[in-house]
Amino acid sequence: MDEKEQNNAKFKAIPVTGSASYEKSDRPKSGFGKSVIIPFISGVVGCTVVIGTCFGVPSIRTKLIGNQTTSSISTTNNNSTKSDGYVKQTSLENYSDTSVYAANKILPSIVGIKIDYTVNSTSIFGRTGSTTATASGSGIIISEDGYILTNNHVVSSSSSDSNSYYQISEATKVTVTLFNDETEYEAKIVGQDEQTDLAVIKIEKTGLTKAEFADSDDVKVGEFAMAVGNPVNMTSTVTTGIVSAVNRKITDSDGKTYTCIQTDAAINSGNSGGALVNAQGKVIGINTLKLSGTGIEGIGFAIPINSTTDITSQLIQYSKVKRPFIGISGIDLDETTAKKYNLVVGIYVKSVEDFSSAEKGGLKSGDVIIEADGKSIKSMDELNEIKNSHQIGDTMKLKINRDGSEKEITLTLGEQP
């Protein structure tokens, strides 16, 4: 079986939340936390917190990674060393350990992110209240003048439980800590995209060390992988492992599906938004989700870096992602469902939005879409995948079944509102 076509089993992913207290020393300590498959964010919500658990107020869901404390690598022939942190700076020739080289390469490009929130809550008895909350995570420097890539859930989140409903507003304040620099820099949110769980923030500082990206399409199963971040606020933590799988489809707790790189490098609460890098210290993915539970260890997921390039550019330019739009709500019809309702396999069009591409192209409620651009489809995910391969203004050909008869229609894709 081609490694690019591995079993795409679905898992439920839930955000890893909570933080742990520990004594600071000159070097980060290793830590352990209860995990579940979730985004890696570390949150403190004005209450006593143990790893993965918060009493009294909801913990915030986000994936985050912390600040760095090591120095950058020199690739010259100078054999001198400089110990600015717990990893030494030395010449490339002296690196006998792949992990040391990769850590030195990436750490100056990883930042710690702290987010302040206002949490509004309404209990099942109708009582309302609010409190402040903080969360911590990570980001990757993508430009020398202060642009930083992270997960959207790091800077925008909500949470609920069985006893109360909590709504967390947009972050009221975002601060960034740089590698080997305890100064907190206030950041502004440049753009966010919930669909891909990506966001870009910016600080007013120049001369930063931007991360170098690898081609994530070339990632192979079994190759070296290092996760970098801020698990449970332990800044500049690196963990190593391998690439366990590629093109793994994972469904999170909100029902969104991502195509990810799977790794067994330890990813814990607070790692969200950080980097997964290869042996050269080049970014191959953004740490985002983790599968956890009794009997489950070493299953983490990163968004491939290639899939972030266009999204990042649009977030910087437009503060949002401009996507083509069809304008329908639909119901997946597999063989079992279609047979039950005496329909054909495809997508049942439940409703059509006014003035949308679908309405203008002639789609009607009750139609069943059976092909898109010549490909048979039976789910909204498949339709959206084909749609997203187009640009706004492109045409898209659909074959539908209407009242037992097949018909072809052509849509001109508009822009998603």
Q: What is the pLDDT of residues 354-391, one digit of tens each?
A: 999 999 999 999 999 999 999 999 999 899 999 999 99
Judge whether 147 and 190 are in contact, CB under 8 Å. yes
Looking at residue 68, its pLDDT comes to: 32
Q: Over 50: is that where the pLDDT of 86 sits?
A: no
Residue 373 sits in a domain whose CATH number is 2.30.42.10
Least confident of 18-27, 84-93, 246-255: 18-27
Q: What is the mean pLDDT of residues 56-84?
A: 34
Better-scored residue on pLDDT, 50 or 329: 329
Give percent of the chain above pLDDT 90: 58
Looking at residue 316, its pLDDT comes to: 98
Phi then psi for 42, rounded to 5 degrees? Answer: -110, 125
Question: Rounded to a whole number, what is the largest CA-CA distance in the chain?
Answer: 78
Better-scored residue on pLDDT, 80 or 331: 331
Number of domains in the chain: 2
Residue ending a domain, choose from 285, 317, 349: 317
Task: Look up the domain containing 135 and give its range.
Answer: 9-317
Q: Say how far apart CA 149 and CA 61 lie, in whole Å.
A: 18
Choose among 74, 110, 108: nearest CA to 94. Answer: 74
Least confident of 71-85, 162-176, 306-320: 71-85
- Indicate if 313 and 337 belong to the same structural domain: no
- Indicate if 134 and 241 belong to the same structural domain: yes
Q: How confident is the model at residue 13 (pLDDT cuts 50, 70, 90)?
A: low
Q: How confident is the model at residue 295 (pLDDT cuts 50, 70, 90)?
A: confident
- Indicate if 307 and 214 belong to the same structural domain: yes
Q: Over 60: is that where the pLDDT of 66 sits?
A: no
Catalytic residue among 193, 197, 252, 367: 197
For the beta carbon of residue 404, count every other beta carbon within 10 angstroms: 8
- Indicate if 286 and 343 belong to the same structural domain: no
Q: What is the mean pLDDT of residues 348-352?
A: 98
Q: Say how far apart CA 293 and CA 38 lie, in whole Å.
A: 11
Do the domain assignments include residue 3?
no
Catalytic residue among 72, 121, 153, 159: 153
For the beta carbon of residue 273, count every other beta carbon within 10 angstroms: 38
- Indicate if 288 and 341 belong to the same structural domain: no
- Indicate if 404 and 363 belong to the same structural domain: yes
Looking at residue 75, its pLDDT comes to: 31
What Å distances lie between residue 75 and 79, 105, 240, 276, CA to CA?
10, 10, 22, 22
Looking at residue 96, its pLDDT comes to: 46
Looking at residue 397, its pLDDT comes to: 97
Least confident of 134-138, 185-189, 241-245, 306-310: 134-138
Q: What is the mean pLDDT of residues 205-226?
A: 97
Residue ending a domain, choose from 284, 317, 350: 317
Residue 64 is which amino acid? Answer: L
Torsion from C-alpha of 59, 60, 62, 67, nearest 10 degrees? -80
Mean pLDDT of the residues in the chain: 80
Beta strand pairing call for 12-13 and 237-252 = parallel
pTM as predicted:
0.74
Let me know if 153 is a catalytic residue.
yes
Q: Say how far apart CA 61 and CA 202 lie, in whole Å.
A: 22
Looking at residue 170, its pLDDT comes to: 64
Residue ending a domain, choose from 272, 290, 317: 317
Least confident of 20-34, 46-60, 160-174, 356-370: 46-60
Catalytic residue among 272, 292, 356, 357: 272
Looking at residue 296, its pLDDT comes to: 84
245-275 per-position pLDDT tens digit: 999 999 887 778 899 999 999 988 789 999 9
- Indicate if 346 and 310 belong to the same structural domain: no
Q: Say how far apart CA 345 and CA 343 lie, in whole Å.
A: 7
- Indicate if 244 and 352 belong to the same structural domain: no
For residue 317, what are the contacts with CB-CB under 8 A and spacing of at least 6? none
Q: What is the mean pLDDT of residues 326-345?
A: 96
Better-scored residue on pLDDT, 49 or 207: 207
- Indicate if 279 and 407 belong to the same structural domain: no
Looking at residue 55, its pLDDT comes to: 28
386-416 per-position pLDDT tens digit: 999 999 999 999 999 999 999 999 999 999 9
Q: How confident is the model at residue 83 (pLDDT cuts 50, 70, 90)?
A: very low
